[in-house]
Amino acid sequence: MPTTYPKCSPTEMQGLLVLLNNHKGSEDVALLADDLDLEIDEILPSLDFARTLGFVKVADGRATFTDLGKRYVSSTIRDRKAIVREQLRKTTLFRTLLRALESAPDHQLTDEQLTQLFSVTPAPADESVQNIVNWGRYAELIRYDADEHVLVATRHTGSSPKASGGNRPPPPPTPQAPNGGSRRSTPAPPPVGPETSVLASITA
């Protein structure tokens, strides 16, 4: 996967993709900008990042969803994060970042080490670090300890991101009667709630 790092937030990219979905998954980029009351160059970073993650294709000035992009916009918040996480792992810089965290003492990187790692990108170091850390935190690949000023890798079981509010504690042991009585079943967790639209946030 090609690796570019246009400066945009996850919310901005999501807002653009929601708008594109409202246009039935294919629309002229200029018309998308008009709908958002923005200039074309103002939506290009979000469009470029969506293309980097494999969500859209752009040809002859027209943006069109890929199959992955269609799956992304129809997914829950939790599944969207999982999709972004897997796509970021395919990029050269995030592969490098995660390898660096894996091999670092205590699996942590300081601000200075992050700046050195990202100094190979064309963007100014501070902007590049902040942008990439924001995306890594959104996808729950990494977390940043503001008190210690270190970046730490986030561990996952499988590809599903953490549920809102952090990890659930393991269920208590199932009680059993002294003479081998029947076991009680553990109640199922509540379903994930509906997702709210993020379109308004890109126009704020």
| pLDDT tens digits along 58-94 | 999 999 999 999 999 999 999 999 999 999 999 888 8
What letter would DSSP give residue 121?
S
pLDDT of residue 126: 64
Low-confidence residues in the chain, pLDDT < 50: 1-4, 157-178, 180-204
Residue 153 has which token pair? 């890798």
For 93, residues 6+ apart whose C-beta sits below 8 A from its C-beta are 3, 5, 118, 121, 132
Prediction pTM value: 0.69
